[in-house]
Amino acid sequence: MGRRGNTLAKAIEHERRVKLAFEFHRFFDLVRTGRALEVLQAKGYPITANKLLFPIPQTTIDTNPAIKQNLL
């Protein structure tokens, strides 16, 4: 993405941060854009890559053994 696209992406991210404050969308936006570790660690949160994935429910794995648990 060029410089202008990066600026637009950052502007959109900031707008969502402001408009959706207190609605817990920011975490998912950061994970989706690949910036969660960078932003949250800079704020002092002790987060690691394995904390960015939710576990797949065991009942789902039991139903379909081809599905493997989210592990990094």
Domain-by-domain residue ranges, the chain? 3-63
Q: According to the model, what pLDDT value does residue 5 have?
A: 60
pTM above 0.75, yes or no: no
Q: What percent of the chain has pLDDT over 70?
A: 92
For the packed helices 3-19 and 26-33, what is the interaxial angle rounded to 10 degrees?
160
Q: Is the pLDDT of residue 2 over 60?
A: no
**Confidence (pLDDT) at 26:** 86
Integer Cα distance of 4 and 10 in angstroms: 10
Written as six digits, the tokens of 55 are 């576990």
